Amino acid sequence: MKIKEFLEKSGCEKNLCELMGRVIPQAIKKIRETIQSQSGELAGSKNASGEKQLALDVQSNQIVVDELKAFGLVESMASEELEGLVEGKKGAPFTVVFDPLDGSSLVDVNLAVGSIFGIYPAGNLIGKTGEDQLASCFAVYGSRLTLVLTVKKGTHEFRLNANGDFYLTKENLQIAPQSKYFAPGNLRAAAESDAYLKLTNDWIKRGFTLRYSGGMVPDINHILLKGSGIFSYPGYSKAPRGKLRLLFECAPMALLAEQAGGSATDGQNRLLSQKITELHQRTPIFVGSSEEVKHAGFALLKS
């Protein structure tokens, strides 16, 4: 079943169906074309967090902004690549936040990368929480192009077919409470935190299988598709709140994980309850199998 038809059948509101089933898939297909035709050279500019941008980051960002503006469903948008809000169409129903190309430095070594989107009702984002999202999704540009989305009625996977449409491949993805896989991000933190070192050793001693690619999107996609696992990215002295952003990366992923029966915290507190105080705020993240996420929280408290 085509993505739009699936969303309509599931009772998704008309404008949200159009955004998730047509506008965002269109942007994703264009980003994939750009990834395939461009090299991963530096753009010579920096993003709002002061990180060097690749030409691909800038181009992917522009594709999303242009697509969102063209369809007139978005009042404002915010991107990991831009400082402030971008105006869309006055009176339109949604505010969309996105990371147009997460893990872009992996393109030149031909590993999987992704795009992440969070959808809010139109209006100010400051003071809201991830819980206020109406929907979220990510695309994985890997050996296939897949799209995993939620409109708060479960988490589902779609795949791009040769005819250029996304078709449903897996309905109602489920993350089991116990895990078999681990994806331990920012292991640099283990050099200074005995608790994080112990936690990762514990995963090893329990015989978990390592599945870490260096890209949060494919790593969390693995958890969703295999049905269990934990992805972690804690803070450390150089970056006390870690690297990943609440609005553009962690909250959309947290919503997808929860809708699949998993959970997501910053180590102690539920990520979707964390207040947005600034667009580019960072947060530690522990996401995936609920028992493992809880266990990680206890383990870190013992530091």
Q: Which residues bind ligand AHM (CB under 6 A)?
A: 51, 99, 102-104, 185-186, 214-216, 233, 243
| Residue 67 binds Mg ion (CB under 5 A) | no
- By CB under 5 A, is residue 102 in contact with Mg ion? yes
| CB nearer ligand AHM, residue 140 or residue 216 | 216
| Residue 51 partner contact from Mg ion, ligand AHM, none using kind-dependent CB cut-offs of 5 to 8 Å | ligand AHM
Q: Which residues are CB-contacts of 293 (< 8 A; sequence separation ≥ 6)?
A: 230, 262, 263, 264, 265, 286, 287
Name the residue nearer to Mg ion (CB basis): 75 or 99. 99
284 close to 267: Cβ distance less than 8 angstroms:
yes
CB of 213 to ligand AHM, least distance (A): 9
Cβ at position 65, least distance to ligand AHM in Å: 17
Instruction: Decide which of ligand AHM, Mg ion, none touches 266; Cβ closer than 5 to 8 Å per partner kind.
Output: none
DSSP 128-193: -BGGG-SEEEEEEESSSEEEEEESSS--EEEEE-TTS-EEEEESS----SS-SEEEE--GGGGGT-
Query: In angstroms, what is the minimal distance from the CB of 111 to Mg ion?
Result: 14
> Contact, 191 vs 163, CB < 8 A?
no
Tell me phi and psi for residue 120, to 5 degrees: -120, 160
Tokens representing residue 94 in the block: 């949604």
Our finding on whether 99 is near Mg ion (CB under 5 A) is: yes
Least separation in angstroms between residue 216's CB and Mg ion is 7
Contacts with Mg ion, residue ranges (CB under 5 A): 99, 102
